[in-house]
Amino acid sequence: MFLHRLNPSIKAITIALIVVLLAFIFDPITPFIFLIGTIAITFIFGNVEWKKYILYFIPFSILSFGMLWTTIAFSTPSNNPNDVITLLGMTFPRASFLTALALSLRILSVAALSLLFIFTTNVVDFILSLIQQLKLPPKIAYGVLAGYRFLPMMKDELVIIHQAHRIRGINTAHTIKDKWHQYKRFAIPLLASAIRKAERTAIAMESKGFTGDKNRTFYRHFSIVKRDWLFPFMMLLLFSLAVLTSLKLGYI
Amino acid sequence: MRNWRFKEIVVMAALSVVFAVVYLAFLPAGKLLVGLFGPIGYDLIFGIWFIVSIIAAYIIRKPGAAFLSETIAAMVEVMIGNATGPMLLIAGMIQGIGAEAAFAATKWKNYATWVLMAAGVGSAITSFTYGYFMSGYAVLSTNYVIAMFITRMVSGALIAGLLGKALSDGLAQTGVLSSFALGKAHQKRNAA
């Protein structure tokens, strides 16, 4: 699938660029069209499970809805209070309603862009591409990759600390106050073990010849081919179309 | 980055990973507070999202620690596949710059409590400026925005600055930091 084979650096830069462009948009039509377009692109050019997609999309919808009502509730009074929109039996000032709608649709557009990236990109590929295309120092990149590997171990570590505490006679927390104390007791051992592991990993890597030198060889090569430029072109085209449509409809 | 030991980079990355998980865990808490108090809810606990900058800088004590750790934490948050996506990466970098500026002002020499608190405030200032333009605070009333800003700075100083220092000192007492700047400082103090 096109999106999966796309160079990860190109994908990330394009998305970042679009996110910045979206920040200058304060009308509801542009982000709406863009949102639909992005979701369509995700499913046409990527192999994404729609059930998983919806599951990930829900939190953003809640966030977006929160943004909608707080912006309406806390916005400055508009200049012409008679210009109102009636919706579900409630009246809102037209200007602040449209801005609120624009902001919440912007959140959803950005969410769709992030999901496009997350669902079609392998983390290790992304970091390797950052080293090879964007000249990220290998020392940092491999440090991050090593740190990222600790993520799944952390859950096991929590279980171990919990059991170690129990064996020493600390009962399972039930009340919120107990839970709070429990987290306080967990924090230091968890961090300490993460630091110990990191230190050991670093020493192991260095003893096996890792110097962080920029002139290193790679097992997996990433390059930018002509086809990769199709993605930024497609996304910018979609964005321009959205802006033009909104302009035609007189919302900007 | 030349004077960084590889060990320090991996430890910084590991701290960032731990706090990326903590950051994500606090998002629902933030949403709950927003539900109760409106947009200012986030600002009450916003300091938690700056904490790794202060901890990493305080432990490693090298230029770039505050900025890089926050950036990596944001990156891990994006990689886990939650939160606000690529935009979060930019937000993380901007928060990191704020904290880094405070340490840079002391030429990365002073790690007293007030500097750590200033770093928390620094992150609050840069992140608020960014939020003002990106999240559209401009549409909120001016007094409310000022209240949000002050709340965020206090939160940055207390949660990121003081809690970050307390956690790092707690870690130093366990001895795991013996080969890092903070651990050495502790040993010196204990020996004296």
Which residues 6+ apart lie within 8 Å of A71 measured at CB?
Answer: A96, A99, A100, A103, A104, B136, B139, B140
Count structural domains, chain B: 1
Chain A residues with beta carbon closer than 8 angstroms to that of B82: 59
Among residues A223, A216, A224, A221, the alpha carbon closest in space to that of A138 is found at A216
Q: Which of A14, A195, A201, A203 to mutate to test the interface with B (most CBs of B within 10 A)?
A: A195
Q: What is the pLDDT of residue A87?
A: 67
Q: Tell me, yes or no, if A212 comes closer than 8 A to chain B by beta carbon.
A: yes
User: Whole-angstrom Cα distance, residue A9 to residue A105?
Assistant: 26
A111 and A20 both lie in a single domain:
yes
* pLDDT class of A61 with cuts at 50, 70, 90: confident
Question: How many residues in total does chain B contain?
Answer: 192
First-to-final CA distance of chain A: 36
Q: Is the pLDDT of residue A85 over 70?
A: no
CA distance A214 to A197: 25
- Whether residues A112 and A8 share a domain: the answer is yes
- What pTM was estimated for this model as a whole? 0.82
SS3 A82: coil
Is residue A195 in a domain?
A: yes
Whether A212 maps to a domain, the answer reads no
Q: What's the pLDDT at A78?
A: 55
A54 or A171: whose pLDDT is higher? Answer: A54
Residues B64-91, mean pLDDT to the nearest whole number? 82
Per-position DSSP letters for A212-229, written without gaps between them? --SS---SS-----GGGG
Same domain for A178 and A118: no
Q: Does residue A2 surpass a pLDDT of 80?
A: yes
Task: Give phi and psi for B62, each to the nearest 5.
Answer: -135, 150
> A56 and A154: one domain?
no
Residues A113 and A16 in one domain: yes
A154: nearest CA in chain B? B18
Tell whether A132 is covered by a domain. no
Q: Provide the pLDDT for residue B160.
A: 93
Q: How far apart are CA A175 and CA A172, in angstroms?
A: 10
Give the burial class of A151: count Cβ atoms within 10 A of its Cβ; 0-12 exposed, 13-18 middle, 19 or more buried. middle
A130-136 average pLDDT score: 91
CA B96 to chain centre: 7
Which stretches of chain B are DSSP H helices? Answer: 6-37, 40-44, 51-60, 65-80, 86-105, 113-134, 142-155, 164-174, 181-191
- Region B45-60: mean pLDDT is 94
Same domain, A73 and A35: yes
Q: Are residues A194 and A235 in the same domain?
A: no
Residues 6+ apart with CB under 8 A from B156: B46, B47, B50, B120, B121, B122, B123, B124
Same domain, A192 and A232: no
Per residue in A118-129, pLDDT (tens digit) is 889 888 898 899
Residue B51: inside a domain:
yes
H/E stretch holding A85 reads strand A84-87
**Does A214 reside within a domain?**
no
Q: Do the beta carbons of residue A242 and residue A30 sit within 8 Å?
A: yes
What's the sign of the alpha-carbon dihedral A29, A31, A36, A37? positive
> How confident is the model at residue A81, as a pLDDT?
59
pLDDT digits (tens, 9 = 90+) for A216-237: 888 989 999 999 999 999 999 9
CA distances from A138 to A128, A206, B1, B76 (A): 9, 13, 11, 17
**Highest mean pLDDT, choosing among A91-105, A112-126, A174-188:** A112-126
How far B49 CA lies from chain A's nearest CA (Å)? 16
- Return the closest-CA partner of residue A190 out of B181, B23, B170, B50: B170
Residues of B in contact with A197 (CB under 8 A): 14
With 90 as the cut, is the pLDDT of residue B172 above it? yes
Same domain, A116 and A147: no
Q: CB of A64 within 8 A of CB of A110?
A: no
Query: What digits encode the pLDDT tens for the residues B132-162?
Result: 877 767 777 888 889 999 999 999 999 999 9
Nearest to A2 by CA among A47, A37, A41, A45: A45
Contacts of A100 in chain B (CB under 8 A): 139
* Average pLDDT over every residue of A199-207: 93
- Residue A88: pLDDT band (50, 70, 90) is low
Task: Tell me which of A172 and A116 has the higher pLDDT.
Answer: A116
- Closest Cβ–Cβ partner in B21, B86, B176 for A195: B176
Total number of domains constituting chain A:
2
B31 vs A76: CB contact, 8 Å cut-off? no
Q: How many Cα atoms within 13 Å fall on the side-chain side of residue A69?
A: 12
Residue whose structure tokens are 């006679």: A169
Return the structure tokens found at A192: 């300490």
Whether residue B80 is contained in a domain is answered as yes
Which domain range does residue A190 map to? 138-207
The arithmetic mean of pLDDT across residues B75-89, rounded, is 73
Cβ contact B171:A198 at 8 Å = no
Instruction: Confirm if A183 and B167 have CB atoms less than 8 A apart.
Output: no
pLDDT tens-digit series, residues B88-116: 888 899 999 999 999 999 999 999 999 99
Residues A78 and A179 in one domain: no
Percentage of chain A surpassing pLDDT 70? 92
Residue A92 phi, psi (nearest 5): -125, 150
Average pLDDT, chain A: 86
Task: Please say whether the beta carbons of B120 and B47 come within 8 A.
Answer: yes
pLDDT-based confidence at residue A26 (cuts at 50, 70, 90): confident
User: Are residues A31 and A117 both part of a single domain?
Assistant: yes
Which chain B positions have a beta carbon within 8 Å of A113's beta carbon? 85-86
Residue B1 domain-assigned? no
Is the same domain home to A115 and A148? no
Average pLDDT (A17-40) is 90
Give me the mean pLDDT over the B16-44 stretch. 85
For residues A131 and B75, give the distance between their C-alpha atoms in angstroms, rounded to a whole number: 15
Q: Where are the alpha helices (DSSP H) in chain A?
A: 2-5, 8-22, 29-45, 50-74, 94-120, 123-134, 138-167, 176-207, 230-248
| DSSP 3-state of A131 | helix
Task: Give the closest-approach CA distance of B117 to chain A in angstroms.
Answer: 21
Is residue A46 within 8 Å of A119, Cβ to Cβ?
yes
Q: Does A35 touch chain B (CB under 8 A)?
A: no
| Band (B82; pLDDT cuts 50, 70, 90) | low
